[in-house]
Amino acid sequence: DVKVTQSSRYLVKRTGEKVFLECVQDMDHENMFWYRQDPGLGLRLIYFSYDVKMKEKGDIPEGYSVSREKKERFSLILESASTNQTSMYLCASRSPDEAYGYTFGSGTRLTVV
Amino acid sequence: RKEVEQDPGPFNVPEGATVAFNCTYSNSASQSFFWYRQDCRKEPKLLMSVYSSGNEDGRFTAQLNRASQYISLLIRDSKLSDSATYLCVVIPTDSWGKLQFGAGTQVVVTP
């Protein structure tokens, strides 16, 4: 089974801090994704990457950046955390066989105070 | 209008009963469809893919209606453990494999 690991389950950060969320997958997948999930809004795509050093903006990239230096690792960076970035952040890796959709990490619940 | 829309529920279902709910999508070029299940404070997990001809997986049946642009999920003989939020997921054509998610339908199975 594909395993997608997010480095932290819960984080509390202060407004203005730079925040790094790490995601590692172990199945050599090209495609990786960062989403945030908020009540009533569902999952919204922040950024995605289809290969090393490649990145594309999703639907809500403002205030975020990403890094993909190695195939297995996809990092989400909050340049200057704000309270409206308090959310659940989910990383996903995509199977090359579309029939299997995504595999998600267990999520990072970030609170910005 | 959202790309993928679901009734948020909750659908309160007695144990052993059948529950069904739909999801509508706006992009007629969508090519792949899934149902994910998400438990409270957990990550979404793939429940089943949805095929054009409809498909079953045990007590779960998924249907696709391309003409009306909706998919459905039916759960028979509901168990307490079926209580969760069910996310409808769509992959449009030429989307780099990006999934579009509905906000989810909550199902609560009661004893």
Exposed, middle or buried, A3 (CB in 10 Å: 0-12/13-18/19+)?
A: exposed
pLDDT at A97 over 80: no
pLDDT digits (tens, 9 = 90+) for B62-76: 999 999 999 999 999
pLDDT at A98: 60
Contacts with A98 from chain B: Cβ below 8 Å: 32, 91, 97
Q: What is the pLDDT of residue B24?
A: 96
Stretch among A1-10, A29-38, B18-27, B93-102 having the lowest mean pLDDT: B93-102
pLDDT value at residue A100: 64
Q: pLDDT per residue over B8-54, tens digit each?
A: 999 999 999 999 999 999 988 887 899 999 999 899 999 999 988 88
Q: Residue B7: in which H helix or E strand, if any?
A: none
pLDDT of the residue at A83: 97
Paired with B89 in beta bridges are B34, B101
What does the pLDDT look like over A16-30, one tens digit per residue? 999 999 999 998 888
Partner-chain contact A42 B103, CB within 8 Å: yes
Task: Report the residue from A40, A48, A105 with minimal CB separation from B96.
Answer: A48
Instruction: Give A7's Cβ-side CA count (13 Å radius).
Output: 11
pLDDT of residue B22: 96
pLDDT for residue A99 is more than 70: no
* Closest residue on chain A to B39 (Cα): A106
pLDDT value at B1 more than 70: no
Q: What is the DSSP string of B88-111?
A: EEEEETTSTT--EE---EEEEEE-
Nearest CA in chain B to A58: B98
3-state helix, strand, coil in chain A (%, to 5): 5, 55, 40
The CA distance from B23 to B45, in Å, is 17
Asked if pLDDT for residue A2 goes beyond 70, the answer is no
Chain B, nearest residue to A50 by Cα? B96
Instruction: Choose among A42, A56, A107: nearest Cβ to B104.
Output: A42
Answer whether A106 sits within 8 Å of B42, measured CB to CB: yes
CB contact residues (below 8 A), chain A span 26-65, against chain B: 31, 33, 35, 40-43, 45, 48, 50, 56, 58
Q: Above 90 in pLDDT, residue B92?
A: no
